[in-house]
Each structure stands twice: as structure tokens, then as C-alpha cells.
Structure 1
Amino acid sequence: MQDRRQFQFAELDNWLNEHRVTEIECLVPDLTGVARGKILPREKFTEDRGMRLPEVVVAMSVTGEYPNDGPYFDVVSRNDADMHLVADPTTVRIVPWAVDPTAQVIHDCYDRHGRLVPFAPRAVLRRVCELFDRRGWTPVVAPELEFYLVARNTDPDLPLRAPVGRSGRAETSRQAYSIDAVNEFDPLFEDVYDYCEKMELNVDTLIHEVGAGQMEINFFHSAPMALADEVFLFKRTVREAALRHDMYATFMAKPIAGEPGSAMHVHQSLVSQDGERNLFSNEDGTPSREFYWYIGGLQKYIPAAMALFAPYVNSYRRLERFTAAPINIQWGVDNRTVGIRSPVSTPRARRVENRVIGADANPYVALAATLACGLLGIEQRINPTEECKGSAYQSAFELPRSLSEAVSLLRAEHDLAEVLGKEFLTVYAEIKDLEHEEFMRVISPWEREHLLLHV
């Protein structure tokens, strides 16, 4: 392993030399998916082969807070101990918007004993992928990521609105799949595609989604870790590009009232390690037992995993009936009203799409969680319900309606804790409780409008 790592670092040094890099952005994804880390001169990066940061850096709330006491400190060091960050040479990419030649490298987090920090998001996904690897299976995923372009807004008390495009007008109506609506923002998307090409991000198609200013980018299918890294980097990229065009790009699940929310639909399948067989299909092309068991696992465990798929109080505003978002765990073939969809495909490309996940989810955590649900389904041979062939919007809600409810379900689900790691779920649940408490201290405009003089 050490020889292999040294070889990778030698290749990394060659890459940095070829691109004449003078600075390195050393990145670590935290629980929210924010890029933490340090910027080092090239010489310092090469000398250290890593750096140190406090453990708490990857275990903070979206507001940068962490608990003062409780189970959180059964996992995270009370004395603010350091973790050692080790670069993953396979993640090196140029920073295309930097003035000086700058590279960005994603790092893994280790404790002082050389063990992966169990609550770091990359470590959680790595843990789940290793469980599949031990069984001789290789997960393949392909995310579809929705986001909104919105006008620059520096006042959080004001509602967001669609940005002005080339025509000089903002969108005021639904423009699903409109080419002209996408072309309104051609200068921005030319930069996005240029940045993605220079960073070697494997983005596929760009479409205009249902909402005003809402877009969707699709990624080519690949290994879970590689695609989680790409989604993490893409979010940085599109935000940077939008700022350069005097607008914001947001991955909030529900940024604008009255408009559809934004999702991260994840297509997933399992193949043999030689890549020759899709485990979701029998030799005669029919769906396999594993295909149905995988769906059964998603149906059983998605409700408990919702705090991982919908991680903020805002996330649950997206999950409303008749808003292009699922409200239950029904499944169906070529049915976009369900939470678990199987697109029409050839037997070799048979896959399952989890449509529950929000665009605001941490990609490492979300991919780990959805794969964990499917793995448990196969191991426990969980049969799914009957296929939904009508509109699942007409069925009852089967998902938690709030973050607090979701966190309670997550804490009670021991099977997911065994797969994802008890330390991770302890830290995650404590952070989500903290965020919910912070939110409950804020008085909303709705309360002032409807309760101030009426109660």
C-alpha cells in the first residue's frame, strides 16, 4: 500500500510540474459538503505530504457551530485534537478561475493512529464501498443535480427571484426543457463547461428544469467516490461561475416559494467486479432477485435515512404533493411520481433511481446512505411492495415531514448504523439537533404576518 501511494505521489508531482502549479488548495469536504482546508505554496505541500486540522472542522453545523456537551464528545475529541490530512492524488485538478497556476486536491482525514476519521464524509462512503467490494460487487452511480440561478441577493430577509438573462428580462413562467431559456444564460454556461472541461469533470447534459431559473446537470455513470468528488467540485464551480456573472447558483432544496424544489436523483446499479454482468438482470434479461431486494431495502430504510437525504429544515419544504418531488417510497418502472423509479433500459443498463435525495445533501453522505439501504435489502432479501402503476402523488405520505422527525427515525435505526458507522451517525444526529434548535430560535416572516395581530 505504501509503495502504491508513493507511486501516486510521484505521478502527482509530475502533474504539478507539467501545469507549473505554484499553489495548492488542500480541500476536505465537511458534513455539509463545504470545502474546508488550507492553501499551501507548492514547496510546502511537497515537503509535508499532508497537513493537520482540528477534528471538529469536518463535524460542524452549517452555521459553523458544534455541541457543547453530550454524545458528540463520545466520538469527537474534547481537547480539540488534530487530524492528519492525506492528499488523494487521483483527485488533483486545476483551479480554472485562479489568477496564478493553482491546483486543488481532495484529502482524506486520519487520526494520529493512522485510522480514517469515521465521521468524515469521504470515510463514510469509503466504508460502504468496501462492504460491496468484499462481496465481489461494484456499485455504479449517476447523479442528476438540480439547482437554481437567482439574482444576487445580499439581504436574507428578502425572497429570492429569478435572474435577468440576455434578453434583459427575468423568467416569470415555467420553462421545462426549453432550449431558449437555457440560452438566456449562455455566457454563464460557456464558463461552466469551460471550467468543467479544464477540471475533467464528466458532466453530460444540461437542461432547464421546471422552475423559473432552475437547471439540471447530469453526470456520466461511474464509481461512487469518483462521482461524489465530482459533485462536490461541481458545486464549487457553478457557484464561482455564477458570481462572475453577477448572480448566485444555489443548491437549496426549496429556495423560492411556489416553485419546485431541487433534487439530486441518483441512478444506481451493481455490476460484477469484472464489469461483465449487471446484477440487476438475469441472463434472460428479466429483473433479478437482487434488483427487487435492492428496491425493498430502499423502501424499508429510506424513511430512517431521510435526515441524510434531506439534511436541513428547508429540505422538507421540497417534499410536497404534486410538486415533482416524491412524498412516499412507492416504486415503479418509468414512473416519475414515485420515490424509487426504474427507468426503461436494456437489461445491461437496468438500474434504480432514488428520487428522494435533495440537491442540498452532502454527495458523499447521500451516496453512502442510498447504497447502504440497497445493500441491506439484498442481504436481508427484502421484497418490495407491488409496483405503483398510477400516480404516487395520490398515495399517503410515507416520509418524515420535518428534520426533527427524521433525526429521531435515524437514531432508532440500528441496521443503518452498522453499515454507515455508529460514530458517524452519532456525530451527524447531534449536529442536526443543533441546527434544528438554532432554526427554532428564528422568528419567520409568516409568523409576523399572520400571528402578530391575530392571536
Structure 2
Amino acid sequence: MKSKVEIKAYLQNNDFHKVKLAIVDIDGVLRGKVVSQEKFLSILEGGMGFCAVVFGWDMEDKSYDNVQVTGWHTGYPDFDAYVDHGTMRNIPWENGLPFFLADFSDKEGNGLEVCPRSLLKRIKKQAETAGFLPRFAQEFEWFNFETTPDGFQSGISGNSKPMTPGMFGYSILRSSLKSGFFNDLFDYCQQFDVPLEGLHTETGPGVYEAAIKYGDVLAAADRATLFKTCTKEIAYKHGIMATFMAKWSDDLPGNGGHIHQSLWSKEGKGNLFYKDGQSISETMMQYMAGQLFCLPYILPMVAPTINSYKRLVEGAWAPTTLTWAYDNRTTALRVLQGKESSTRLETRVVGSDVNPYLAMSACLASGLYGIKNKLKLDQPATVGNGYKDFSHGILPSTLQEATTQMKTSGLAKELFGEGFVDHFCNTREWECREFQASVTDWERKRYFEII
């Protein structure tokens, strides 16, 4: 990591006249700007004002009418934001343009309660205080289409042509069909400090899956968030649009955004989830018990959109029940045993449409809750089809149901703070209202002629 002095010298010596900055909003969307080198050096030392509207509107820039943190009632002032100089990287597909992430916080470093990156930093600190080093990674599935934003907006989105045809997961053949995009994605991500452990086709027309290299939980969330945006930008250069919607078509599997996680000892005792033999550690059992207990009350953080719940259906490679198992892809939690370096938990509820900071916050906070309260993993591992194991409950089936459970939950407020929970749940209620007010293609096809 370069110091501020080293960054200043690097920018000046390499004749960079501009720098790109970004923050992440409640939906996980990067919002940012390009500033001059002179302006950036000033920001690096003293911070900057960033318009509060990024927490006052939705992903379509429609102003919320039900949040308190900002709005017409506050006049949409600036919030204080500070560059995290440790996030510096260069954008290889933009001639090496320097890039930085920023957080919303005060001069003392206290994060804005509704800022997703600040939330994860707070929960990471809780883990470290308890003696843990959380190591996380996220993997994404997504669809790729041969279209442009103009073409997509002017046509019927459902008729967009997939980049490659047919159902052909793990296909060496299909990955060679658009090899320019495939190889640029892998290589550019490496150069952008978003290293991939693997990239392959997944089942479905034009579907890829990428596994991002694991690391410190905050760095992992940075990488996951940047991966989604850089994939879209690289795709643009190849005449392709990438979508991380949880469920693109009712005829095809959805897009998972599974999160892999382990806790390591701050005292050098290694992976605390690992245990010799055929079992798993008590720490891992408590962590899993915490997630299973908390999931019904924090589900919107890992399934944040109306569309998320179209993915969480039986037999579609996404879980519907509160279950766990060893190496079983039908359960909510999948235990992966192996060497100390690879023993971990995979939370499979998470979809590709998430804000990675919120999803990782949810996973980590709920796991820590289980450890703190010494919860027992009393329910046995599911054997066979997890979709048919209803013995320990099912997940909420709509965003409205899930949001109501979270908003009225004292547990969610205990984990994330009342200010965050109120704001986030209000934004999810807004999402539900926007959907309810819209007339869908399904309604037109069903009712236009017949009724």
C-alpha cells in the first residue's frame, strides 16, 4: 500500500492529469466523478463534499419520499467523504487512469451509518476485536448479451440476443467463441487488482461465472463491487451488455453471488473453521448457527430486489430452506471441508444482484452473533435434497415479506444499528411500491386480449 506522500509523487511523476473517484450507494452501484490531479491532491489531504442525493434516490435516480437521512426536506446537501488511499489501482482499459474508492465519514473517521462500506468496516472491526481475521470471497454468475445500452433501451429487452447459444456449462468451446471478451476480462481484472481464481461458462445462453480470489473481508467486498462494474465496462468495449440480475428468465436458472468465508486467528493459530478429521470446529458450528438463526431477519441484505425472489425457487440451484450440509448445492449453507487453507463456508442464498458490502456485512455479523451467543448447531446436516427439508423453516418468498421481518426485528437493529436498518428497509419498501405501480409484460400478455 502506498502512503499519501508516495501517491502524490506517483501521480506527479507519471504525469497523470486526472483521477477517477467513486463511492458506493445503497444498491451497490458505483457513483463517482473524474477530477483533476490538483483537485485530487487537495481531496487526498482534506476530504471532499459529495452530494447526499446518492442516498436519497434509487438506482433510476428517482427521489425517495420515505427516508430521513436526506431529501427535499434537507435540501440535498453535501456529505463529507474521504478517500481510502489503500484502494488505489489503475484502470487498464482507460490508459492506466488512477482510481480510488471513498467513504462517507467525519474527520474522526466515524462512518455515516447508511454508508455500506462504512457498515462493513464497523463489523470487520467487531470481528477483529473478538480476535478474528475474516477472509471472504465472492463468486458471480451473470448473463451476457449482444446489444448496447441504446439498443437495449430502444428495443424489447426480453428479445436481446445472448452472446452465445444454448445450455453449455464449463464449455471450453463456448468460451472460445467470444475469446476476446473472455480473455480481456480475466487479464484486465488481474491488472485492476480484482484477481480471478477462475472464469468459465455456466449453464445458460451467454452465461459466465467468475470466482474472485479471497482476502480480507473489506478488500473482498471492494473487489466484488468493482468486478461487477469493470465487467460491464469491458463488455461495452466488445459490443456486449452484462447483467447481474438475479433472474433473467423464468425458463433459465438464476444468477448466484455466493459468498465464501472463514475466520482466521489474529494470534496466528490459523483457520478457526478447520479441524482435523471429518468434523468442523465449534467456532464454525456457532458461526453457521448464527447465520441460520439470523437469515429470516436480514434476508433483504442478501436478496435486495423484487427480482431476487424469482431466483429463490425450488430446483433452480438456489436455496429455499434454512438448511446446511456438507458439499451440497441444494442448501442455504454449504460446508467445504479440506485443507486448513481451503476449509470454509459458502452462503448460497446470496444472488448476483447484491451490494457486496451489505451481503458480506450480513454474513459476517450473523456469524459473529452465533459465536458471541454460543449458539448450538443442533439441526443435523441435510442429506440429499435440501428443497424438501422443511424441518427448520423456509426463507421469506417476497421482498415485501422479507423487508417487513427485517424492519420489525430487534435482531437486525442489534446487528447493524437502528439508523441503517430504518433507512435500508425504507428503500426496500420503496422498491416494492415502485413494482406495485408498474404494469408488467406478464400482465399485458395475460389480460390484454382475453379478459
Matched, 1:80 2:50: no
CA–CA separation in structure 1 for the residues paired with 2:335 and 2:161: 33
- 2:189 is matched with 196
- 2:410 is matched with 414
Number of aligned pairs? 441
By how many angstroms is 1:417 displaced?
A: 1.7
Asked whether the equivalents of residues 23 and 102 of structure 1 are also in contact (C-alpha less than 8 Å), the reply is yes
The one-letter code of the counterpart of 1:154 is: Q
| Cα pair distance change 1:310/1:386, threshold 3 Å | same
SS of alignment partner, residue 189 of structure 1: helix
By how many angstroms is 1:112 displaced?
A: 7.0
Alignment deviations for residues 212-235 of structure 1 (CA, whole Å, 9 cap, x no partner): 111111111101110111111111
SS of alignment partner, residue 221 of structure 2: helix
- 2:142 is matched with 147
The one-letter code of the counterpart of 2:58 is: S
- 1:259 is matched with 252
SS of alignment partner, residue 88 of structure 1: strand
Aligned match for 1:115, one of 93, 110, 117? 110
Aligned match for 2:388, one of 387, 394, 405? 394
SS of alignment partner, residue 20 of structure 2: strand
Matched, 1:369 2:362: yes
- 1:163 is matched with 162
Aligned match for 2:235, one of 235, 242, 245? 242
The one-letter code of the counterpart of 1:29 is: V
Asked whether the equivalents of residues 400 and 429 of structure 2 are also in contact (C-alpha less than 8 Å), the reply is yes
- 1:426 is matched with 422
CA–CA separation in structure 2 for the residues paired with 1:19 and 1:229: 25
Q: Point out the more displaced range, 395-404 or 236-245.
A: 395-404
Alignment deviations for residues 142-161 of structure 1 (CA, whole Å, 9 cap, x no partner): 21111111121334643054
CA–CA separation in structure 2 for the residues paired with 1:383 and 1:160: 49
- 1:167 is matched with none
CA–CA separation in structure 1 for the residues paired with 2:361 and 2:226: 18
The one-letter code of the counterpart of 1:51 is: M
Asked whether the equivalents of residues 61 and 432 of structure 1 are also in contact (C-alpha less than 8 Å), the reply is no
Aligned match for 2:90, one of 94, 102, 125? 94
Residues 3-402 of structure 1 aligned to structure 2 (within 5 Å): 8-17=3-12, 19-49=14-44, 50-69=47-66, 72-73=67-68, 78-98=74-94, 102-111=97-106, 115-152=110-147, 153-155=152-154, 157-164=156-163, 170-171=164-165, 173-282=166-275, 286-384=279-377, 385-396=379-390, 398-402=394-398
SS of alignment partner, residue 82 of structure 2: strand
CA–CA separation in structure 2 for the residues paired with 1:382 and 1:160: 49
SS of alignment partner, residue 329 of structure 1: coil
By how many angstroms is 1:111 displaced?
A: 4.1
TM-score (structure 1 length as normaliser): 0.91
CA–CA separation in structure 1 for the residues paired with 2:107 and 2:226: 28
By how many angstroms is 1:298 displaced?
A: 1.1
CA–CA separation in structure 2 for the residues paired with 1:47 and 1:190: 38
CA–CA separation in structure 2 for the residues paired with 1:359 and 1:186: 23
| Cα pair distance change 1:285/1:94, threshold 3 Å | same
| Cα pair distance change 1:237/1:75, threshold 3 Å | closer
Asked whether the equivalents of residues 272 and 281 of structure 2 are also in contact (C-alpha less than 8 Å), the reply is yes
By how many angstroms is 1:418 displaced?
A: 1.8
CA–CA separation in structure 2 for the residues paired with 1:215 and 1:176: 8
CA–CA separation in structure 2 for the residues paired with 1:324 and 1:140: 25
Unaligned runs of 5+ in 2: none
CA–CA separation in structure 1 for the residues paired with 2:158 and 2:257: 23
The one-letter code of the counterpart of 1:219 is: I
Asked whether the equivalents of residues 141 and 222 of structure 1 are also in contact (C-alpha less than 8 Å), the reply is yes
CA–CA separation in structure 2 for the residues paired with 1:276 and 1:59: 44
| Cα pair distance change 1:405/1:120, threshold 3 Å | same
CA–CA separation in structure 1 for the residues paired with 2:180 and 2:423: 42
Asked whether the equivalents of residues 75 and 427 of structure 1 are also in contact (C-alpha less than 8 Å), the reply is no
CA–CA separation in structure 1 for the residues paired with 2:317 and 2:444: 30
Alignment deviations for residues 181-236 of structure 1 (CA, whole Å, 9 cap, x no partner): 11112110222123213212221100111121111111111011101111111111
Asked whether the equivalents of residues 52 and 79 of structure 2 are also in contact (C-alpha less than 8 Å), the reply is yes
- 2:431 is matched with 435
| Cα pair distance change 1:163/1:90, threshold 3 Å | same
CA–CA separation in structure 2 for the residues paired with 1:338 and 1:161: 32
Root mean square deviation of aligned Cα: 2.1
SS of alignment partner, residue 200 of structure 1: coil
By how many angstroms is 1:121 displaced?
A: 0.7
CA–CA separation in structure 2 for the residues paired with 1:48 and 1:348: 40
CA–CA separation in structure 2 for the residues paired with 1:370 and 1:16: 37
Asked whether the equivalents of residues 30 and 36 of structure 1 are also in contact (C-alpha less than 8 Å), the reply is yes
CA–CA separation in structure 2 for the residues paired with 1:335 and 1:135: 30
Q: Point out the more displaced range, 411-420 or 298-307.
A: 411-420
By how many angstroms is 1:32 displaced?
A: 1.2
Asked whether the equivalents of residues 55 and 70 of structure 2 are also in contact (C-alpha less than 8 Å), the reply is no
The one-letter code of the counterpart of 1:276 is: K
SS of alignment partner, residue 307 of structure 2: helix
By how many angstroms is 1:18 displaced?
A: 5.1
The one-letter code of the counterpart of 2:407 is: R
